[in-house]
Amino acid sequence: SFNSLNHDMTLPEFKFIWYMEYSHRMWGRAVGLAYILPAAYFWRRGWLSPALKGRVLALCGLVCFQGLLGWYMVKSGLEEKPDSYDIPRVSQYRLAAHLGSALVLYSASLWTGLSLLLPQHKLPETKQLLRLRQYAHGTTALIFLTALSGAFVAGLDAGLVYNSFPKMGERWIPDDLLAFSPVLRNIFENPTTVQFDHRILGIASITAVTALYLFSRKIPLPRRTRMAVTSLLAVACMQ
């Protein structure tokens, strides 16, 4: 990597990157201990219900899997590729898997914590409420997909291809959008297509969040739920 990419790097610059990576690894290990040690203590004291034991085991397993996936991702950036003229970089597929796993772990942890801290609302199962719940799940899936597409942007340095918005250069749809063959490769390996998809998914996500907010205003909801939907819109606009 030093010979082909960063041969002009100074020692202070290398130290900065090294400490960033080292801090990330140490933080990840601290997170693992923050999961496993209290879980073992609570388990031994008999404070966990059978259902919660299964959830705790799944979360602890996901923490370990996340660390393993991180190692597997970094390994891809250190592999020699004699037939490739590309600069050394980690696999965008492994980067997306690492990010996706982290998002699942974070979401499951937050859901578990809130389930224990806050009592569940007993709401009448009206058609409007069921539609709102289904729409919220669909919006969640769209946001998750948008985040994963961001990992492909980062892995391929696709953000450097076009830096104008809403057009990409002088065009709404770039000429090289489907330059790779077969066509499916473009979605995951063509930097132009990856950036284009991420833009479309981002616009779709904020549109979906706004529609979810507007729909929620027509339904009588508890204060806590209304705050959550409003906060979601605020964070989406900030993002």
pLDDT at 123: 77
Angle between helices 92-117 and 127-155 (to 10 degrees): 140
pLDDT at 5: 66
Q: Which residues of the chain are under the pLDDT cut of 70?
A: 1-6, 80-88
- Please state, as a whole number, how many other Cβ atoms lie within 10 Å of the Cβ of residue 158: 22
Domain boundary among 118, 140, 158: 118
Are 18 and 48 in the same domain? yes
Domain boundary among 97, 118, 139: 118
In terms of phi and psi (left: phi > 0; alpha: psi -120 to 50; beta: otherwise), the region of 92 is alpha
Task: Specify the DSSP class assigned to residue 181.
Answer: S
Are 31 and 93 in the same domain? yes
Are 124 and 102 in the same domain? no
pLDDT at 86: 60
pLDDT at 78: 73
Q: What does the pLDDT look like over 79-108, one tens digit per residue?
A: 766 555 566 678 899 999 999 999 999 999
pLDDT at 119: 80
Domain count, the chain: 2
DSSP, collapsed to helix, strand or coil, labels residue 82 as coil
Are 34 and 146 in the same domain? no
Structural domain including 88 reads 1-118
Q: Show the DSSP H helices in the chain as ranges.
A: 11-45, 50-76, 92-117, 127-155, 184-189, 191-216, 223-238
Print burial letters for 164-175: b (CB count within 10 Å at least 16), e (below 16): eeeebeeeeebe
Are 42 and 87 in the same domain? yes
Asked whether the beta carbons of 195 and 153 are under 8 A apart, the reply is yes
pLDDT at 4: 60
